[in-house]
Every structure is written in structure tokens, then in C-alpha cells.
Amino acid sequence: MLKSFDTEYGRIAPFICSDMAFLSKIQQAGRNNVDILIVPASDWKEMTLLTAKTAIVRGVENGSNIIRHTNNRMSIVSNVKGCVLAQTNYFQSDTKTLSAQVAMKGRFTLYSYIGNLFVYLCNLYLLGSFILPQIKRLIKR
């Protein structure tokens, strides 16, 4: 169960590193109206871009701002629209600090309640549009 808490800066929830990859966990943030997700992480070099982009997408899906700090890799701050407000790469930056202004309010998204249901329905429709004509053709023979 996701633990979130109200602060003067909005509702905040902590996630740890790979929790961002688990849809069921992150959807709780959207359902609980979490404004800011704080995600401390530790990446290895090959996963840096993938995990940063995954965090941004999860923030958009669930209407939350993301503050993702990593030790020795790319740290990012993104808003509810997925715009990167600040980023720094530990190995490519002279400074080891990151500063950004984050909105104190997230936004409602339907995705946190229905997940990939729309995608599944579209796939079902597409599959049905190919299979039904084949079945009708076989019945006519």
C-alpha cells in the first residue's frame, strides 16, 4: 500500500528506484491524488535513460510531478505534463546540484483508474475486425 502524506507543498509520496516500473504501485499515487513523487534511485549506466523516461511517463499517467534523484547517474525533475524542468548527469556535469521549481498541485488522470483498459479494448476491436470477416468467409463456404 502506498504511503503518502500531506505537506505545505502538496501531497507527497516516496517511491524507491524500480517501484516506478510496477504499474499497480504507481497507479495508487494517481488514485490518492499525489502531487509530487519523490524517487531516490540508483541506476547503472545502461539503464539511465530508460529509467528516467519511465519515471517521466509514470508521472504523466498519474498526474504527478516527479523528483527523481540518483546517485552517480541522471537526476531529473519533471512536471505533470512530462516537461523536464531540470536534469543533471553526475558524470557529465561540473556541479552536483539540481534546482527546479515544481508545482504544488498534480492533476486528475483517468489512467490511474482504468490503466491500459483503452489499449486492450482497441486491441480487441482490431483483432475482432480481422477475425470476424475470416469467420464469415469460412461459414459461407
Q: Cα-atom radius of gyration of the chain, to the nearest Å?
A: 20
- The structure's pTM equals 0.79
The domain tally of the chain equals 2
- Which domain covers residue 105, as residue numbers? 5-109
Q: SS3 of 49, please?
A: helix
Q: In the structure grid, which three cell numbers stand for residue 23, read together?
A: 504499474
Residues 59 and 114 in one domain: no
Helix (H, G, I), strand (E, B) or coil at 82: coil
User: Rounded distance, CA 84 to CA 48, Å?
Assistant: 15
Q: Do 137 and 121 share a domain, yes or no?
A: yes
Is 59 within 8 Å of 65 (Cβ atoms)? yes
Are the CB atoms for 32 and 57 separated by under 8 Å? Answer: no
Q: Could you tell me if 16 and 73 lie in one domain?
A: yes
Provide long-range contacts, Cβ within 8 A and 24+ apart, for 122-129.
Answer: none
Looking at residue 82, which CATH number applies to its domain? 3.60.110.10
Query: pLDDT tens across 63-119, in order?
Result: 999 999 988 888 999 999 999 999 988 777 777 788 899 888 888 988 888 888 988
Residues 136 and 78 in one domain: no
